[in-house]
């Protein structure tokens, strides 16, 4: 059934996450008849660079994009200001479009979505994306020894509980996250109100059969990668959660076993950040490659990988985390080296024989990874991507939730 949907995201559509984990779902749902108004907050540099491309994509799919520039300073106050701006624009748009659903990506957007529900009876979809307040603490962004941050953390933990209770439906990225929520006192009854939809991959984009051979060869030449090199690959930002030291530590071990190894980073991170850390660990610059590409070119770069790696800090908040890269790598049939204790990551890797999940980061654990390569089953890995991470399935699950919300509204 056709209806107007307000989608709220504090992440930008010109950011990689917006391009991979917001727009594909909205485009899929718009084809089902839903009319979207999308509010997002854009980083100035990326907005200047990619605005036109994203605007064309939205126009092509009948998505009305209301972009605002993200405010960075001062800390906390700038965020409150942006939330206020999001709320004011949402209220203004609702006067004209009378939204049936407000789809809120993460906690800051949910503050606006809850207010919309209370004021207009709009159906409130809380797409939580992870335990946000705990991520801020686990990632050492908020130091709760500081009374101000402790107050902010407590505020959002209270809000979190209210979001779960008041939302008409909740989206969790992981089954581990869902199990954690319904284990909390007073939330046991939410089992049927929580749908699990992981970070999905566009299997038409991440398909080794669709990789342009000439582009692949061009990237290989640009990066000085030969067919005999063993390429360990990493995709995405490094930031707060990814364990660069440990990943480079594994690569150092890999070099001792395969001297022709190359570590290829497909990332927007500064090469100097990666190279300086590699140098500290005794890894020569000649073994490292760093390249930044648009999302649509990532699959071509992945096709150069012999294996992939991502180590993520296994904190409490990461129970609800679904690495975007996992479905993309599995779809490309690339063996994954990862660690346990992060959402459903290790379970999926083990269930589909898609790689190897270690528990620690010692040399003995690295040695056990060597068993992966002779036994890796590419077909099982790719089937796992289709069964667990397919974008089509993700869109279908969202559509099912939307249908329930609309039926309940009528």
* pLDDT one-digit tens code per residue, 246-269: 999 999 999 999 999 999 999 988
In this prediction, residue 1 carries a pLDDT of 52
- What would the two tokens of residue 382 be? 């790719």
Task: Share the mean pLDDT of the chain.
Answer: 95
Mean pLDDT across the stretch 73-100?
A: 96
Angle at 195 between CA 194 and CA 199, to 5 degrees: 130
Q: What is the pLDDT of residues 195-228, one digit of tens each?
A: 999 999 999 999 999 999 999 999 999 999 999 9
The answer to whether the beta carbons of residues 131 and 125 sit under 8 Å apart is no
Helix (H) / strand (E) element for 302: namely helix 298-302
Per DSSP bridges, beta strands 230-235 and 194-196 are unpaired
CA 60 to chain centre: 24
Q: What is the pLDDT of residues 138-164, one digit of tens each?
A: 999 999 999 999 999 999 999 999 999
Q: Spell out the domains of the chain, with CATH numbers in brackets.
A: 4-198+391-409 (3.40.50.2000), 208-388 (3.40.50.2000)
Greatest extent of the chain over all pairs of C-alpha atoms, in Å: 65
Mean pLDDT across the stretch 274-291?
A: 97
What separation in angstroms does the CA of 403 have from each of 2, 101, 124? Answer: 10, 10, 13
3-state secondary structure 75-137: CCHHHHHHHHHHHHHHHHHHHHHCCCEEEEEHHHHHHHHHHHHHHHCCEEEEECCCCHHHHHH
Helix (H) / strand (E) element for 200: namely none
410 pLDDT tier (thresholds 50, 70, 90): low
pTM to 2 decimal places: 0.92
């Amino acid at each position: 059934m056709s209806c107007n949907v307000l989608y709220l995201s504090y992440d930008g559509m010109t950011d990689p996450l917006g391009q991979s984990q917001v727009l594909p779902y909205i485009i899929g749902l718009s084809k089902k008849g839903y009319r979207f108004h999308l509010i997002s907050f854009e980083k100035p540099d990326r907005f200047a660079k990619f605005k036109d491309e994203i605007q064309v994509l939205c126009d092509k799919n009948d998505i009305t994009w209301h972009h605002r520039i993200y405010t960075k300073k001062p800390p906390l106050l700038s965020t409150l200001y942006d939330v206020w701006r999001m709320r004011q624009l949402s209220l203004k748009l609702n006067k004209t479009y009378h939204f049936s659903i407000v789809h809120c990506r993460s906690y800051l957007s949910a503050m606006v979505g809850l207010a919309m529900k209370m004021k207009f009876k709009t159906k409130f979809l809380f797409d939580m994306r992870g335990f946000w307040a705990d991520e801020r603490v686990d990632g050492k962004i908020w130091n709760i020894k500081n009374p101000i941050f402790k107050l902010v953390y407590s505020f959002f933990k209270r809000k979190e509980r209210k979001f779960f209770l008041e939302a008409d439906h909740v989206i969790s990225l992981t089954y581990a996250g869902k199990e954690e929520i319904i284990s909390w006192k007073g939330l046991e009854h939410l089992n049927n109100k929580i749908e699990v939809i992981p970070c999905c991959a566009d299997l038409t984009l991440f398909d080794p059969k669709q990789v342009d051979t000439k582009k692949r060869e061009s990237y290989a030449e640009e990066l000085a990668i030969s067919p005999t090199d063993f390429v360990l690959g990493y995709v995405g930002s490094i930031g707060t959660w990814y364990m660069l030291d440990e990943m480079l530590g594994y690569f150092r071990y890999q070099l001792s076993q395969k001297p022709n190894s190359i570590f290829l980073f497909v990332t927007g991170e500064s090469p100097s950040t990666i190279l300086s850390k590699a140098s500290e660990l005794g890894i020569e610059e000649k073994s490292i490659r760093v390249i930044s590409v648009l999302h649509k070119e990532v699959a071509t770069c992945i096709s150069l990988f012999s294996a992939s790696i991502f180590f993520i800090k296994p904190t409490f908040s990461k129970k609800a985390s679904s690495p975007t890269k996992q479905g993309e790598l599995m779809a490309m049939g690339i063996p994954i080296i990862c660690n346990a204790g992060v959402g459903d990551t290790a379970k999926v890797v083990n269930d589909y024989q898609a790689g190897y999940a270690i528990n620690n980061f010692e040399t003995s654990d690295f040695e056990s990874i060597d068993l992966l390569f002779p036994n890796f089953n590419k077909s099982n890995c790719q089937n796992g991507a289709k069964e667990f991470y397919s974008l089509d399935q993700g869109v279908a699950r969202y559509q099912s939730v939307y249908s329930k919300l609309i039926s309940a509204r009528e």
